[in-house]
Structure 1
């Protein structure tokens, strides 16, 4: 049962992102979350309020014409009855027509996420993306990130994860 619930959290993460259902996306996280996308995108790892993570993610993802995050090959390791780590493959496609070339950027890699049991069920307490390779026009991703950053309020970091 726990394994199925954790699998569901990871699938809700992808579905919430692609459908722009930010309430569903938020339901995946503990109130504070560690986020580490440094391996592929250069932002430093950070710990922040989940509401701030959602507020920062929404305008970036909404800047794309379409996205599709496919989560597969999930392996879940339980550390005790309330803590687990999940590793899952991801193929994240991002589409944004532009005048400078290919309209797509695809990230192939894996997530290493930490989970914690809460009174509401299993939630992610940390999310880390490790790209293995990328295809397409990385400029598409940069254009959308720039558009999203211009639309989002400044989100203060509460801590840097080391």
Structure 2
């Protein structure tokens, strides 16, 4: 590997880790900063809805509305495989996402695991995500926690 490849790999890894950090720390400006203005998000393995192009601002607002009502979330990204081809890159990484909801003395959790495939393009001195595909391979807990969390905002 060349020094440039190693630098690109480090930069892309750090960039993609902001995905989890932004969500879990409710740093929505940080989360927004990782995306191009127009993105394609394919979460069909989770939602059943087909991939669709959208404004990154709309995506971030939707994630915020869905996840901020939880008492805690933890998104873990690991096992990065990065392929760089000039100013384009693919980053595949394992993921586990834990969503915690506390109601009185009841503590509940819903978790999913699998992997992300992020397509990035070099933009100036850094990288931006243009396309993300979530591939869910396992799930534990009750999806109804998402509905319960959403009721906290109404």
The TM tier, using the shorter chain, reads: 0.7 to 0.9
- Aligned to 1:58, the other structure's residue is in SS state helix
Greater length-normalized contact order (CA 8 Å, ≥ 6 residues apart): 1
Moved over 3 A (4+): none
Residues paired across the two proteins, number: 147
Q: CA separation in 2, counterparts of 1:26 and 1:40?
A: 21
Residue 88 of structure 2 is matched in structure 1 by 83
How far 1:142 sits from its partner (Å)?
Answer: 3.8
**What is the alpha-carbon distance in structure 2 between the residues aligned to residue 84 and residue 107 of structure 1?**
25
Change (3 A) 1:122 1:147: farther
Structure 1 gaps, min length 5: 152-162
> Who is 1:158 aligned against?
none
- The two structures have a TM-score, normalised by structure 1, of 0.83
Q: Tell me if structure 1 keeps the 8 A contact 2:100–2:107.
A: no
Deviation string, structure 1 residues 128-149 (Cα, Å, up to 9, x no partner): 11110001222113433x448x
RMSD: 1.9
- 8 Å Cα contact 2:9/2:82 also seen in 1: yes
Aligned mates of 1:24, 1:132 — CA distance in 2 = 27
Q: Determine if the alignment matches structure 1 residue 40 to structure 2 residue 62.
A: no
Indicate the structure (1 or 2) with the bigger Cα radius of gyration.
2
Q: In structure 2, the residue corresponding to 1:94 is in which secondary structure?
A: strand
Partner-residue secondary structure (3-state), 2:102:
coil
Hey, which of these two has a bigger chunk of strand by percent?
2
Aligned partner of 2:30 in structure 1 is: 24
- TM-score computed with the length of structure 2 as normaliser: 0.87
| Structure 1 match to 2:132 | 127
In the alignment, structure 2 segments of 5+ residues that lack a partner are 1-6
